[in-house]
Structure 1
Amino acid sequence: MPTPASAVPTPSATGSHANTYDATDIGLTFTYPNGWFASEDSASQRINIANAQGAFNLENRPSSYELVWLSAAPYETSVEAEAHTKAGAPDCCTTSGSPIEVTSGTIVARSLVINTYKFQGTIQAYWSSTYGKRYSASIMSPGPQKDEIAILKSILATISVSQ
């Protein structure tokens, strides 16, 4: 059984972003809060950004665990996935037949316009590079912690793409 990770204090979403991550494999560069950890999973084409370090499952996560992710995986970034989310039936979640309420917005990061969709206490974001590559981002934790949405938005505001 994996050893539980120890959480670090969650930084303020408006606090310093001293860490820069350059994911050249998927063409993303961004900054993330001090005290958080970024790791790339090349198999899933995701970058996980969390306030605790270590690979662990739901049973042994610290109660203050927070996690957001950025993705270049085609099944998570498609135009169809975005359309489902916008229509209130996101691919990530099961619904009871009727659409869930979704609030749309945008974040402008340099020359990118990132479409955001907030629903049921979570947020999903989608954008395309000038080269046509699609990306997405979301909160990955079941039941988001208080700072995850603000932290994801602050990370997205620093995104630049090279592919």
Structure 2
Amino acid sequence: MIFIYNCYGGTHSSSLASAIHLNKLPQDRIPTKSEILNTDYFNKLSCKDMGRIIYRGMDEEGNKVFSLGRGTSRVLLPCLKNLIVLLQQEWNVNEKILLSNMTPTVTLPMTVGGFLSRRLRIDSIGVPLLVMGAQQAYKEIVEVVNFTKESAKTLQEPVLLLLNSRNGRTY
């Protein structure tokens, strides 16, 4: 099985989700500022990394975990799903793939902090906002990761695209 956590830039909520999935961050408490900032790729990717599928590691069950920054594209994930299905059908690839959208977990401080830090390079304001927003969103990120792992257990089709949602709104 392959897990691909995705969001706008692939550097904040997807980085945290990947680290949680791989047990690099705790599930039972909010991580410290240091733990968040030392998470692989957290706040380190740029626009040129969008569309790049980044290997994050192998989980305890031997599943590969990746992350993806998809930008504002609403067609990238359906296109990726269709491409995976095509490759599976044409080359008899049997690996199941689960794409999990982390966008619903992103808080306003994460959005503003990410823009200030990654786009405007104002880390003195952006990074504290990112950390605060990540800590606010953390429990929800853990819930989405756990939901993603549970969904994988009953996966019948070759590719599952989890849109996830917040407050009844699907992204």
Same-fold call, TM > 0.5?
A: no
The structure richer in helix per residue is 2
- Return the TM-score normalized by structure 2: 0.28
Greater strand content? 1
* Higher RCO (CA 8 Å, separation ≥ 6 residues): 2
